[in-house]
Structures are given as C-alpha cells and as structure tokens.
Amino acid sequence: MMGARWPEVPAGAAGRRRGAELVRAILDAALGQLSTVGWNGLTMEGVAAQARTGKAAVYRRWPSKTDLVAVVLRAGLPSLGEIPDQGSVREDLILLCRRMRDSMHSRSGQALRSVLHECDSGSAQAFREIIRSVVIDPSAGLVRDLVRRGIERGDVRPDATGDYIADVIPAMMMYRSKVCGSEWEDSDITEMIDQVLVPLLRV
C-alpha cells in the first residue's frame, strides 16, 4: 500500500524550505499531531512548530484547522490496492477487510480515527464528503469488484449487485471502530464475513 501522497519536492532543493517542500513539512506535521495528540490537541501553532516554520506560513495556506486537516485526510490515507484472486469471494473479502484494518491502523488511519472520534458535529459535517471519497467509496468499489468476480466464478448469486451490499463492510467497520472501539482482529473480520457477507452473497 502506498504512503501519504504529499507534493513532490524538486531534486536538489536546499536551504530554507519553501513551496512543495514547506507544504510537505506542514502536512506531515499536521498528520503527526493528529495521530498523536488527536483532533482536539492539534493546533495551528503546534503544527507550525513541528514543521519548523512560522504559523503565518500555515495560516496563509489553510485559514483554519478544518481546512488543513481536510487536506491531510484527502492526501494521507494509504491506497488499498488491488485484491488478488484468492479463489473464493469469502477469502477475497477477508483480505480486503484486513487491508482496510491495516490502513486504519496506519499513521494516516489513526489521524482519521481521531477526527471520527473527537470532532464535534459541525466539524464532522465538513469532513463527511472527504471520508466518503477517501474511505467509503473506494472500499465499496472494491467490494463491488470482488462480488462481480464471485458472480463470474459462480460462488455469488447473480443478483447480489445492490449498493447496500457494497456498503455493508465499510459501514460495519467504521461503525464498530467508532462506536464500539473495535480494533478488528483477524477473528472479528472472519466472523463478520461468515455471519453477514457470505449468507448475503451465496448462491
């Protein structure tokens, strides 16, 4: 899985940081703050100090903490990548869920979890579309791909193509992580797939 997708720094950049190099330092500092002190502990001043720049340089690019964190969440979460064929839809989905779990346990994932757990309803509204575009939609898209592969393989019923089926895994993983504090051990993933998805999908 890929790491954070910060702006590229031109080769040979040296001296006082500016441009893409400074932006990358600020974003990395914000990611570090989110994954350690969380949403409530993150301050623009703290980000500036960790990035070794003035807070004016941070505010000039992002007028608020919400604006800065939005960029961090969009760029930071690792890609889930392609899911190689494991021979059955059950094994494919288990591998996908493990990758989702590992992504949420990455530094960028910890940052996202701090936002989900700590920010108030107003801030959560600002991040809703970002969370959907960087977490829920890619995950649901992969579920659809695996279901289609299962239909072609013959271990998924042909009409198991609805949006609700694609939403089950990301919805359950987000819900149980946020509300129940689940860390999604391998046994939890297997239990969810066997008790929920396999009965929904089987021929």
Q: pLDDT tens, 73-103?
A: 888 777 889 999 999 999 999 999 999 999 8
pLDDT for position 35: 85
Residue type, 183: E
Burial class (CB in 10 A: 0-12, 13-18, 19+), 9: middle
- The values of phi and psi at residue 4, to 5°, are -60, 140
* Residue that the structure tokens 């107003």 belong to: 122
pLDDT for position 17: 67
C-alpha pair distances (Å), 14 with each of 9, 20, 157: 10, 12, 59
Distance between CA atoms of residues 109 and 31, nearest Å:
10
pLDDT for position 175: 87
Residue type, 46: G
* Residue that the structure tokens 């590992």 belong to: 102
Residues with pLDDT less than 70, the chain:
1-17, 203
pLDDT for position 48: 96
pLDDT for position 16: 54
Determine the CATH number of domain 79-201: 1.10.357.10
18's CB contacts (< 8 A; 6+ apart) are: none
pLDDT for position 2: 47
- Two tokens at 48? 């500036």
Residue 84, Cβ neighbours under 10 Å: how many?
A: 8
Listed residue (195, 84, 102) closest to 142, CA to CA: 84
125's CB contacts (< 8 A; 6+ apart) are: none
Is 0.75 surpassed by the pTM of this model? yes
Distance between CA atoms of residues 89 and 175, nearest Å:
23
- Two tokens at 31? 């990611």
Domain 19-75 in this protein, CATH class: mainly alpha
Helices (H), 62-185: 65-76, 89-105, 107-118, 121-131, 137-153, 163-180
* Contact predicate 59/109, CB 8 Å: no
Boundaries of every domain in the chain: 19-75, 79-201
pLDDT for position 125: 75
At 79 the three-state DSSP class reads: coil
